[in-house]
Structure 1
Amino acid sequence: MATSLTTRDVGARRSGGTPGGTFFGHPRGLATLFMTEMWERFSFYGMRALLPLYLIAGGPAAGKGGQGGGLAMTAATATAIYSIYMAMVYLLAMPGGWFGDRVWGPRKTVAIAALVIMAGHLTLALPGEGSFFAGLALVALGSGLLKANISTMVGHLYDGPDDPRRDGGFTVFYMGINIGAFAAPLVIGTVGQNYSWHLGFALAAVGMGLGLVQFLLGTRHLSPRSDLVPQPLTRQERNTALRKGLLWLAAATVFYAIVVLSGTYTLNWALVPITVVGLVIPVLVLARIKRDKELAPVERSRMSGYIWFFVAAAVFWMIYDQGGSTMSIFGDTKASGKLFGIHFPSSWYQSVNPLWVMALAPVMAWIWLWLSRRGREPGTAVKFAMGLFLIGASFFVFVLPMAMATGGTKVSPMWLVSIYLIQTVGELCLSPVGLSVTTKMAPAKYGSQMMGVWFLAVTAGDCTTSLLSLAGVNLNGTGVVAVEAALACLAGYAVWMYRKRVAALMGGVH
């Protein structure tokens, strides 16, 4: 598929790709990364579509007539586990970027990550609660290793931050994510929800295997920079990192051994500490980078501006990622499973957002380019404010079907389709722009790690959702949803009000 989409263009020589071809006007290596990410997202989003439904299957929170064989958890526990899992995927992108910068280089890290993800999905395919959580941990670890490094390799294909094709390249790459995300619930979701949860998880492993094959076959088209380890660890640094890691592992092992042997262990002993860690680490990481005395003054200024984008993104993802938990469970229990006379499993709702992305991403990219040519393209801060307003508006709309779905009433699926539409427009204002601005504003010292910092915003948002669920807050209540919507709109207004200040801190980055 990648080869059939290539065209001749000498521009690849300038961008570090293989001479002789381009991919929709971009370096040919983008095709390799596009296809790799597409299959990885197929595996990730297929498993994600099943996750909350599998957790509640067989219990009182599941929809009537649904398949049993799940873990029979409450909706609150399922939301907390789902949110923590998503948070860990993005939290581990930070050490994933560190491995790319200091140990293996981006290209080798991505190949190893794909193998770990495959192992995780195959472990999920085994019956039993223990294998389920072990599989989740492996998928989270592999995804964290892959995410930051594959995005960094996209940046390597272009001639620095000022290459006019850069934002468009990330938008094309973003479409690859959503092609995989669209197909996954239709295939993996249908098999898992209607036939066998574990067979669905096994199909996710097949998807990642196809992604690994695509990556290995097309790796010659990537930039030579992707093979380099920018700052290799010294022997002393390696020994120090290994010693600290083993100490933390030993401490955690002793602590949980005591808890288990004392008979006081519950699932919250694992969920609460992970949630707190997921909130604390982003703050510590940003503070460490901001205070690094080796950074040039302009890099420190950019980090100050970047904190605005980070906080805005955390608020955005706190609401957005509930599309796979709060909204998914609502779709399974409170929305009709029939549209235009066609019955469908509730996991199909997870294909709606990527379908909207594929339809609207080219339109949004064209709009930004059209405005740019006329000198009227909104700045990054304004795009972030737009994203926050829209995600807030989506939850204000969500309040309506939630209020209607009482007494056994099932609402029309079009409510969820409309909500996902609003969220998608907000996502396209914020997410690809955030990826691009992160690569532009990253201090040279932190390369791949800054992509990990961007993903920590997702960690912070998802951990906030998890903490609310563990604290007993009913995220399925109209009052809580309305408060979240108001918070997002307020954050968007703050970013818009201080847009000129943020632009000044960005130090010439646009």
Structure 2
Amino acid sequence: MASSLTKDAAQQVTPVSGGKTFFGHPRGLATLFMTEMWERFSFYGMRALLVLYLVAPTAQGGLAFKAATGAAIYSVYNATVYLLAMPGGWIADRLWGPRKTVAVAGAIIMTGHFLLAVPFEASFFVGLVFIAVGSGLLKANISTMVGHLYPDRNDSRRDGAFTIFYMGINLGAFAAPLVIGTVGQKVNWHLGFALAGVGMALGLAQYLLGTRHLAPKSNEVPTPLGAAERAKLMKKAMFWLVLAVAFYGVVTATGHFTINWALWPLSLAGLALPAYYFVKIRRDRDITADEKSKVTGYIWFFIAAAVFWMIYDQSGSTLTVFAQNNTAGTLWGFGFPSSWFQSLNPLYIMALAPFVAMLWVKLKDRNPSTTVKFAYGLIGIGLSFGVMMLAQAAATGDTKVTPLWLAVVYLIQTVAELSLSPVGLSVTTKLAPEKYAGQMMGLWFLAVTAGDCTAAIIQLVAGNAFLSEASFAIQGAVVALAGIAFLFYRKRVISLMGDVH
């Protein structure tokens, strides 16, 4: 990363629109960096408050859901964000182009946060839908526009650009719980949500002001939708929309509607959709036998990733509830709200990611294979819930444990993430059939959806027992054993990968 920020790098720059540069990169990178930073600020700030607000008693201004239901709502919401990344990419490719899609996404996200700030339950859930839709539209396209700044795929600055961009993500994620979490928990929930909206408004404003610095390609629609195809699509969309409205209208009118009528269908859909896509790709006669073998190998990586995210993404639900109910709010005489724990992961990533990257380079020929790194990630994330089992055991009765328990858990999870997540992106591009190169990246996002939906189902079935020692022990043991099994089974997976290593 350091080499991309030197003066030598700056001298090599040919900006997209001429003029000044951003740390030796086109000025458009600054626009996208700031947009993503503010969007992540709003997203992670709201997320730090979400479960806490859902489970807080009405006397404290919350919605008074049971802990398990609040955690399941969080899991399904997070799953939906990643689920909508695929249609978000499609909309940019066929309708609007990345630049317009991100602008629309920012406006939708901002509106969603301000809807959360309105003190009505119906407005709150409509706001969540807006944020999920907007985040799906933005997530699929803003990274693409970073790549557009470098028309030459071999440009030595590309990796450095994505590193800088990644830092923007983590800066926003780190600051958000400290600012929005404090305001939401200490002052007023809805003021905290409004502050998230202000953050997105700032990001959208600077994006609109800085679009002139983006690559012209970002304004193009790669494969425009024809009039006949558009009309056919609209008919299908209206059919399913009317069907959904009619169904839920009947359920509501008959007095049977509860939040579970939304949680269960979305959770099951999040598991069924990836299965459908894999079956579709495997049955496609246009892909070769070698590509089909690679897709089969990739399915194992997908399942491993889904199992990983099942535990990892409980940081905003299960671990947040534990932080609020069972963890002391002071450390060495310094007091802080429970939402601050959400800043630990991005802090650890910013501190550790450069060292992990250097470690892989330093190991050279001894660098662990992709399968081994995945196994390490699974074992690590499983061990983190082993530590949570011990923390829950220590929190007996009214005892509140030291915050160091969660600090250790988040540290273990971050190391596991750095072992699995970046490698997963790489192996996805390597194993994708040529016909499905773009869609396979969408499938990688669906691994998060599948993991979060699995967590939601566990939380719905287990009820408040999802916070028990047994729940942590079982989940941790299953995932760690899956990592060990993946390690022993790796030769079979490697044989399916063909010439990819």
TM (normalized to structure 2)? 0.91
Q: Is 1:383–2:382 an aligned residue pair?
A: no
2:415 aligned with 1:416: no
Residues 25 and 149 of structure 1: CA distance in aligned 2, closer, same or farther (over 3 Å):
same
The match for 1:78 among 62, 70, 79 is 70
1:68 CA displacement: 0.5
Residue pair 2:431, 2:497 contacting (<8 A) in 1 also = yes
Give the superposition deviation at 1:273: 1.2
Task: Indicate yes or no: 2:279 matched with 1:287.
Answer: yes
What secondary structure sits across from 2:366 in the alignment?
A: coil
| Counterpart amino acid of residue 213 in structure 1 | A
Match of 1:199?
191
1:120–1:79 CA distance, 2 compared to 1 (3 A): same
Distance 1:32 1:437 in 2: 29
Between the aligned partners of 2:254 and 2:60, the Cα distance in structure 1 is: 33
Paired residue secondary structure (2:462): coil
How do residues 438-449 of structure 1 correspond to structure 2 at under 5 angstroms? 438-446=428-436, 448-449=438-439
Tell me: CA distance 1:450–1:21, structure 2 relative to 1, closer, same or farther (3 Å): farther
Equivalents in 2 of 1:279, 1:262: separation in Å? 29
1:57 aligns to 2:56 (yes or no):
yes
Letter in 1 for 2:41: F
Match of 1:480 among 471, 486, 500: 471
Amino acid of the structure 2 residue aligned with 1:489? A
- Tell me if the contact between 1:166 and 1:436 (Cα under 8 Å) persists in the aligned partners: no
Distance 1:505 1:219, change over 3 A: farther
Q: Is the contact between residue 101 and residue 449 of structure 1 (CA under 8 Å) also seen in structure 2? A: no
Query: What displacement does 1:18 show?
Result: 5.8
Contact 2:310/2:451 (<8 A) preserved? yes
Q: List per-residue Cα deviations over 1:184-232 (Å, max 9, x = no partner).
A: 0110000011111111111111111222233334444444443333322
How do residues 15-26 of structure 1 correspond to structure 2 at under 5 angstroms?
none
Q: Could you tell me how far apart the structure 2 residues matched to 1:282 and 1:27 are? A: 37
Structure 2 residue 96 is matched with structure 1 residue 96: no
Instruction: Return the match for 2:246 from 230, 254, 263.
Output: 254
Which moved further from structure 2: 465-474 or 475-484? 465-474
Amino acid at match of 2:444: W
Q: Which residue in the other structure is 1:115 paired with? A: 107
Find the counterpart in structure 1 of residue 137 from structure 2.
145
**In 1, distance between residues paired with 2:372 and 2:158?**
19
2:488 alignment counterpart:
497
Partner Cα distance (1:24, 1:506) in 2: 38
| 2:10–2:23 contact (8 Å) kept in structure 1 | no
Q: Shift of the alpha carbon at 1:344?
A: 0.7
Q: Which residue of 1 aligns with 2:311?
A: 319
Displacement of 1:24? 5.8
Match of 1:310 in 2: 302
Residues 486/168 of structure 1: CA separation in 2 closer, same or farther (3 Å cut): farther
What is the deviation of 1:246? 0.7
CA distance in 1, matches of 2:357, 2:131: 32
Q: 2:222 — aligned with what?
A: 230
Q: What does residue 338 of structure 2 align with? A: 346
- Residue 499 of structure 1 deviates from its aligned partner by 3.4
C-alpha contact 2:11 2:24 (8 A) present in aligned 1: no
Tell me what 1:62 maps to. none
- How far did 1:293 drift? 3.1
Conserved in 2, the CA contact under 8 Å of 1:170 and 1:432?
no
Q: CA deviation at 1:237?
A: 2.0
| Cα displacement (A) at 1:103 | 1.7
Q: CA shift at 1:445, angstroms? A: 4.3
* Alpha-carbon offset, residue 364 of structure 1: 1.4
Number of the residue aligned with 1:399: 389
What CA distance in whole angstroms lies between the structure 2 residues aligned with 1:268 and 1:173? 38
Distance 2:490 2:28 in 1: 35
Residues 431 and 500 in structure 2, CA contact (< 8 A), matched pair in contact too? yes
Q: Secondary structure at the match of 1:472?
A: helix
Q: Distance in 1 between matches of 2:440 and 2:153?
A: 14
Of 442, 459, 462, 2:452 maps to 462
In structure 2, the CA distance between the partners of 1:25 and 1:288, relative to structure 1 (3 Å rule), is: farther
Give the Å deviation of 1:35.
2.3
Letter in 2 for 1:74: K
- Taking a change above 3 Å as real, the CA distance of residues 313 and 264 of structure 1, as seen in their structure-2 partners, is same
Distance 2:101 2:272 in 1: 26
Amino acid at match of 1:40: E
- d(CA) in 2 for partners of 1:182 and 1:348? 9
1:504 CA drift (Å): 4.8
Cα–Cα, structure 1 residues 179 and 424, in superposed 2: closer, same or farther, change >3 Å? same
Question: Which deviations, in whole Å up to 9, do the C-alpha atoms of 1:346-386 show, x marking residues without a partner?
Answer: 11111111111111112112222333xx3333232222222
Give yes or no for contact 1:120–1:139 (8 Å, CA) kept in 2. Answer: yes
User: Hey, what's the Cα distance between the residues in 2 that align with 1:398 and 1:210?
Assistant: 38
Q: Distance in 1 between matches of 2:20 and 2:6?
A: 6
Secondary structure of 1:103's aligned partner: helix
Partner of 1:63: none
TM alignment of 1:30-69, pairs within 5 A: 30-58=29-57, 68-69=60-61
- Could you list the per-position Cα deviations for residues 38-79 of structure 1 after superposition, in whole angstroms to 9, with x for gaps in the alignment? 1111000000000000001116xxxxxxx8001011101101
In 2, the alpha carbon distance for the partners of 1:105 and 1:58 equals 44
**Which residue identity does 2:355 align to in structure 1?**
V
Q: Which runs of 5+ in 1 are unaligned?
A: 60-66
User: Retained in 2: the 8 A contact 1:155–1:439?
Assistant: no
TM-score (norm 1): 0.90
Taking the TM superposition and a 5 Å limit, the aligned residue runs for 1:163-202 are 169-202=161-194
Q: Does 1:431 align with 2:421?
A: yes
- Return the letter of the residue paired with 1:86: N
Q: Specify the code of the residue in structure 1 equivalent to 2:275.
A: V
The letter of the residue matching 2:471 is V
Question: Structure 1: how far apart are the matches of 2:311 and 2:155?
Answer: 33
Contact 1:171 1:361 in 2 (8 A): no
Q: Any idea what the Cα deviations from partners look like across 1:148-169, whole Å, max 9, x if unmatched?
A: 1123334445578877766665
Deviation of 1:113 after TM superposition, in Å, equals: 0.7
Opposite residue 119 of structure 1, the aligned amino acid is T
SS of aligned partner of 2:96: coil
Range with greater deviation from structure 2 (473-482 or 345-354): 473-482
Q: Secondary structure at the match of 1:475?
A: helix
